[in-house]
Amino acid sequence: MLANFGERQQQLLNLLLENKSGMTMDELARALGVSKPAVHQHLTVLERDGYVARHALVKTGGRPSQIFVLSDRGIHLFPKQYAWFSKLLLQQLLERMGSEAVEKLLYQLGRETAASLRPRLEGLSLPERLQAVVRIMGEFGYEATLEGETVAARNCVYHNLAKAHPEVCALDAGLLEGLLDRKVIQRECMVRGGGACRFCPLREGR
């Protein structure tokens, strides 16, 4: 079941998931056993919120009918197994490369990710840069805030993975050091029992 959706809306989204090429309003009404106006009402809300998109017009014997499909946002409503896949991949890397090499690799991935975001930080002072970093972390799913000059993340987007394989934390270190262009010290870590993950940048540049 999908949270925050009524039963009919969930059924409609499931139908569009099963029919990747899309469905017309008539087809949805027949499949759901409801009237076209009822389907129209649900589609209007789902399209407004970005879960459903208009795809194409098709000829059905009379006037052309609109095809509706799941948008990318709609597709992402449904469960994924990213954590399972990431765990398998990381286990293979650790077996083949060893812990130290994997930690270096993840740190470098964090730095490379930061490099693609650096244009957003050009010309900013350290306080402004810290605010921008908190916003960027929010885009990645972190509940991040500033505590003075310390970046505090109240959640870990890969908590279970990091708990089993602490090498993953190197990704955060690489990302933050790349964004802030200076050494960052992790003062606290949720995986190690902390209440949050807290990162403090050193004043001197790297």
Element (H, E) at 38: helix 36-48
Per domain, the residue ranges of the chain are 7-75, 82-201
Fold held by 82-201 = Muramoyl-pentapeptide Carboxypeptidase; domain 2 (3.30.1380)
Residues 6+ apart with CB under 8 A from 19: none
Confidence band, pLDDT 50/70/90 cuts, at residue 206: very low
Q: Return d(Cα 66, Cα 59) in angstroms, integer.
A: 9
pTM, two decimals, is 0.67
Residues 6+ apart with CB under 8 A from 181: 205, 206
Strand partners, 199: 151, 186
What's the Cα-to-Cα distance from 205 to each of 119, 136, 137, 180, 194, rounded to whole Å? Answer: 18, 21, 21, 9, 27
The 10s digit of each residue's pLDDT in 137-194 is 999 989 999 999 999 999 988 888 898 999 999 999 999 999 999 999 999 998 888 9
Kindly write down the DSSP assignment for every residue of 111-145, as one continuous string: HHHHHHHGGGGTT--HHHHHHHHHHHHHHTT--EE
9: pLDDT strictly greater than 60: yes
Kindly write down the DSSP assignment for every residue of 44-56, as one continuous string: HHHHHTTSEEEEE
The architecture (CATH level 2) of 7-75 comes to Orthogonal Bundle (1.10)
